[in-house]
Structure 1
Amino acid sequence: MMKMRRTTLAVLCCVAIAPLAKPALAADVYPDKTITIVVPSVAGGAADAVGRAVAQGLGKQLNASVIVDNKPGAGTTLGTQQVIRMPADGYTLLLGLDAALTTAPFMLAKLPYQPKTDLTPIATLATLQYLLVASPAAPFHSVTELVERARANPGTITYASGGEGSVHHLAMEAFQKEAGIRLKHVPYKAAPQGFLDVMGSHVDVMFIASGTAVSPIKARKVQGLGRTGVAPISDLPAMAALRDMPESKGYVFESWFGLLARAGTPASMVGRVSTALAGFMKSPEAEAQMQALGVTLTFEDPSTLAKRIDEDTKRYAPVVAKLKEQSAKP
């Protein structure tokens, strides 16, 4: 009888301990299946290129399969929402774009997620600047000519973007404010689609990631009017900075990409990804890949990425408020 009681007690203890041991075991073997990095943009853009480079490097470091899933739409919020809906098990990560995390809360009446509480930062990956480009058929060939024509004909020159609240949208709104002009917004599902229409002369101008625009500018498929960043672009050394032009004096606009996981993902798994990511991002290979993509490798820890999100959210709030005020006018 005593032996039976001891056996029963041992079984009960095993049953009680099993649920507690399971998460620890899952963390120990992580990753034991494919990891997906969701990129909230179409294939072919800067975000997609960075996501694929990181996926390849991370896969080598983890000795695991890491793939990219493009989920464009809703100003980059659709892909972000998809990650939040998935289990917090470390197998679905987000290539976070600043617009989806810092401006979307102000742009959308009802955002289906809260960046600060629904996502866990892992690292900043890269920063980039944009180029102001014009269609090959545009009747202006410089920022000065663009501004002069826009002032003479308000609301007639069109500009493309990756959607309401996207970085391309914000960049142009800030530029218009600086130059004292008003253009007509033509939003697209994703920026590369808008860029194709600029090259096809269906839309007049737009801001596009430098890595995407360099080759078409060199091939004269699109006109390059100016850059938004401070540092020169090695492949286009003659491209002037908008901040140095009298029509847009002081104008600077740069963007960033980060890697995040759904909130609640075990810290051990986040740490495993962070360590593996550091192994890749600090390598000469990563530096060369990012440079080839036209972005600046900017590897920062989780707390620094969290600080970026917080500071940019505060910085963009008044810009977005102005946009909503303008859209509310008849």
Structure 2
Amino acid sequence: MKPRRTWLMAACCLCSLASGPAMAADAYPDRPVTIVVPSVAGGAADAVARTVAQGLSKRLDATVVVDNKPGAGSTLGASHVAKSKPDGYTLLLGIDATFASAPYLMPVQPFRPVEDFQPIGTLAVFPYVLVASPSAPFQSAAQLVEMARAQPGQYTYASGGEGSIHHLIMDAFQKSAQIQLRHVPYKAAPQGFIDMMGGHVDLMFIAPGTGAGPIKSNKIKGLAQSGSKVLADLPEIPLLKDSPISRNFVFESWFGLFARKGTPAEVIQRLDRALSEVMNSAEVKNQLTAQGITPRFEPATALAKRVEDDTRRFAPVVSQLRKQSDQDTQR
């Protein structure tokens, strides 16, 4: 009897181990889910995360909270998620630069964008508004270009740090318009925006939701925007793609939701279904649109392709920045 009893116990253990992940996935979520945002509160990424978190809370019948972890060019928050347990309880609100440029600029790469993360879906896209300090001497993008060409390096622009999306779009714009501006990096874009409003920096690219209010109240100047269509909330702001100074220039960012690679497929499927319902709801679409953000839900495969395409797109700038950093280190 003893051999038979031993065999039965072993079989029960194997069944328990085999059913464990499935049972865990069926119970998901049985505790709060956290969406980590790799930037400070108040920016576009934070706004998207909080809108999505509210919707997911209802669909998952669980608490979904937002945790802002800014720093290190948006890699601090991503690193936190990359080291988390792959169980679907710690997610990342991914930004294009977080995956396509920022980690490659660090002395030691803090995470591997493709190997460490599982895409769930694209959430939204949005253009950027080129804004200037109220004390800046130019009133339009054309005047900026004319004056910057006459005085290379004279005018300053803020960004959320080396390799941040605000840095990358301004680099692309400078190349398109054939001008040279002086970069003033900040820990996060909202900090640079505050300094620009105060006249400490001349200009920057910022999310429409952040810039719309100050533009309308004449606290800053709205010079142009980088999208392919007129902004509903800022219809008077001209498109850079239609200007002779930067013909066909279009630059739009994206936000996506990611989990730690290795998260059970059943959990990813549950998140995908819930996220699809959230992003296709009229309430969420209206909330994001009102902030100058275009809701655009895409499946995991499309989000993975965005990461791949943008990594290739930003590679020249990243390579140049790494070269400059290496030279500075050797000095």
Give the TM-score, by structure 2 length.
0.95
Partner residue, 1:122: 120
Secondary structure at the residue paired with 1:9? helix
- What pairs with 1:230-249 in structure 2 (closer than 5 Å)? 230-249=228-247
Q: 1:112 aligns with which of 110, 114, 139?
A: 110
Q: How much has 1:154 moved relative to structure 2?
A: 1.7
**Equivalent residue number for residue 313 of structure 1:** 311
Query: How far is the alpha carbon of 1:118 from its aligned partner?
Result: 0.6
Counterpart in the other structure of 1:102: 100
Superposition map of 1:52-201 within 5 A? 52-201=50-199
Deviation, structure 1 residue 232: 0.3
Pick from 268, 271, 292 the counterpart of residue 270 of structure 1: 268
Q: Letter of the aligned partner of 2:290 in structure 1? A: A
Q: Distance in 2 between matches of 1:98 and 1:215?
A: 25
The offset of 1:248, in angstroms, is: 1.6
The 8 Å contact of residues 86 and 259 in structure 2, kept in 1 or not, is answered as yes
Q: Which amino acid aligns with 1:127?
A: V
**Per the alignment, in what secondary structure is the counterpart of residue 321 of structure 1?**
helix
Match of 2:301 among 286, 300, 303: 303
Cα distance in 2 between the residues matched to 1:17 and 1:234 = 57
Q: Which residue of structure 2 lines up, in the alignment, with residue 208 of structure 1?
A: 206
Contact 1:106–1:317 at 8 Å: present in 2 too? no
Question: Could you tell me how far 1:177 is from its partner in structure 2?
Answer: 1.1
CA deviation after TM superposition for structure 1 residue 317, in Å: 1.1
Runs of 4+, deviation exceeding 6 Å: none
TM-superposed CA distance for 1:43, in Å, is 0.2
> Sequence identity, in percent?
56
Once the two structures are superposed, residues 48-90 of structure 1 have per-residue CA deviations (whole angstroms, 9 ceiling, x without a partner) of 0000000000110011100000000111111111001100010
Structure 1 residue 105 displacement after superposition: 4.4
Q: Which amino acid aligns with 1:71?
A: K
How far did residue 325 of structure 1 move?
Answer: 5.0
**Which residue of 2 is the match for residue 40 of structure 1?**
38
Query: Which amino acid letter does the alignment assign opposite residue 41 of structure 2?
Result: A
> Match of 2:164, as an amino acid?
S
Partners of 1:112 and 1:63 in 2: CA distance: 33
Structure 2 residue aligned with 1:6: 4
- TM-score, with structure 1 as normaliser: 0.95
Unaligned runs of 5+ residues in structure 2 are: none
Residue equivalent to 2:252: 254
Contact 2:233–2:290 under 8 Å retained in 1: no
Partner AA of 2:173 in structure 1: F
The whole-number CA distance in structure 2 between the counterparts of 1:286 and 1:167 is 24
The amino acid that maps onto 2:291 is L
Cross-structure match for 1:23: 21
* Cα shift at 1:109: 3.7
Residue 234 of structure 1 aligns to a residue in which SS? coil
CA displacement 1:130-185 (0-9 Å, x = unmatched): 00000011111111221222222221211000111111000101111111111111
Q: Distance in 2 between matches of 1:133 and 1:272?
A: 41
In the alignment, the residues of structure 2 paired with residue 105 and residue 130 of structure 1 have an alpha-carbon distance, to the nearest angstrom, of: 22
For residues 263-290 of structure 1, give each alpha carbon's deviation from its aligned partner in whole angstroms, at most 9, with x where no partner exists.
0000000000000111111111111111
- The 2-side partners of 1:250 and 1:16 are apart by 61
Alpha-carbon distance in structure 2 between the residues aligned to 1:107 and 1:252: 24
Contact in 2 for aligned 1:50/1:293 (Cα 8 Å)? no
Secondary structure at 1:289 match in 2: helix
> Over aligned residues, Cα RMSD in angstroms?
1.6
Structure 1 residue 5: deviation in Å? 4.2
Q: Per-residue CA shift, 1:274-316, capped at 9, x if unaligned?
A: 0011111111111111111210011000001111111111111
Distance 2:321 2:11 in 1: 61
